[in-house]
Amino acid sequence: MSQWKQIQQLQIKYQEQVGYLYDDNFPMDIRQVLSNYIESQDWDTAANHESMATVLLSNLLSQLDRQCSQEQNFLQRHNLKFIYQQLQTKCKASPLLMAGVISSCLREERRIISTASIQEQGPLEKSMQN
């Protein structure tokens, strides 16, 4: 199961923690719409190599642009277009920073999923592990 699908199944208190990771810098709409692409790239390495960050972000923008043009829903198309324009500027200005933001978000998501998984284990399972 993809990381993003696992997040959809968390309790609301954990989803809220994930929510704090996403704002105008990296809108959650992109995380959802391009979840497969985002999860299949090595953002940790890209965050330290500008040429790699530039390529990964350029691909991300192309895919987002394609999503915009295919989107039938008026509100969703409007939002994706607005996000695309804002993200295009940020990716050109500071690709390393942007790759770093994505890398951090994915890492923090994994941490929250892991915490939720431990917390949701009952006392019996915990004692059996000890």
- Residue 23 binds a copy of itself, judged by CB under 8 A: yes
Number of residues forming the site for a copy of itself (CB under 8 A): 15
Q: Which of 2, 11, 19, 110 binds a copy of itself (CB under 8 A)?
A: 19
Q: Which of 3, 6, 17, 22 binds a copy of itself (CB under 8 A)?
A: 22
34-73 residues in contact with a copy of itself (CB under 8 A) are none
Q: Which of 2, 8, 59, 121 binds a copy of itself (CB under 8 A)?
A: 8
Looking up tokens 């999923």 gives: 113
As given in the structure block, the two tokens for residue 2 are 């993809």
Q: Locate all alpha helices (DSSP H) within the chain, ordered by sequence.
A: 3-8, 12-19, 28-33, 35-39, 43-46, 50-70, 74-93, 95-120, 123-129
Q: Do the Cβ atoms of 101 and 67 come closer than 8 Å? A: no
- Residue 78 binds a copy of itself, judged by CB under 8 A: yes
As given in the structure block, the two tokens for residue 52 are 């790699």
d(CA 66, CA 14): 32
**Interface with a copy of itself (CB under 8 A):** 7-8, 15, 19, 22-23, 28-29, 32, 74-75, 78-79, 81-82
